A = this chain, B = another copy of it.
Amino acid sequence: MNKQDKKYLENYSIHDFDIPLTSVDMVIFAIIDGELNVLLVEREEAPQQGFLALPGGFIDLQKDEDITATAYRKLYEKTGIKSPYLEQVESIGNKNRDIRGWSLTVLYFALINRDKIKGQKSQNSQWLPIKKALQQNLAFDHKVLIEKAQNRLREKTLYTALPVELMPELFTLTELQTIFETILEKKLPIKSFRRRILNANILHPTDKSKLSGKRHAQLFKSTGIDREYYFPRTLVL
- Give me the interface of A with B, judged by CB distance under 8 Å: 1, 4-5, 7-9, 12, 14-15, 17-22, 46-49, 58-62, 65-67, 88, 90-95, 99-102, 104, 106, 159, 230, 232-234, 236
Contacts and interface: CB of A to CB of B under 8 A. Distances in A.
A95 B67 contact: no
Given A19-B21, A66-B93, 19 more contacts: A4-B46, A4-B49, A5-B46, A5-B47, A7-B46, A8-B46, A14-B100, A15-B15, A17-B21, A18-B58, A18-B60, A19-B20, A19-B61, A20-B22, A22-B104, A66-B94, A91-B106, A159-B234, A234-B234
11 contacts: A12-B100, A14-B21, A14-B101, A15-B15, A18-B61, A19-B19, A19-B21, A22-B104, A59-B93, A93-B106, A232-B233
Contacts of A94: 65-67
Contacts of A21: 14, 17, 19
A16 B15 CA distance: 11
A59 B94 CA distance: 10
Given A17-B21, A93-B67, A59 B102 contact: yes
Contacts of A46: 4-5, 7-8
Nearest to A59: B20
B92 A90 contact: no
A198 B58 CA distance: 49
A58 to B, nearest CB: 6
A108 to B, nearest CB: 10
* The 9 A-B residue pairs with the shortest CB-CB distance in the complex, in nearest-first order: A66-B94, A8-B46, A67-B93, A5-B47, A61-B102, A91-B91, A18-B61, A91-B106, A19-B22
Contacts of A58: 17-19
A84 to B, nearest CB: 19
A159 B230 CA distance: 13
A66 B8 CA distance: 30
Given A9-B99, A91-B67, A91-B91, A59 B15 contact: no
A99 to B, nearest CB: 5
Contacts of A8: 46-47
A43 to B, nearest CB: 11
A62 B20 CA distance: 11
A54 to B, nearest CB: 17
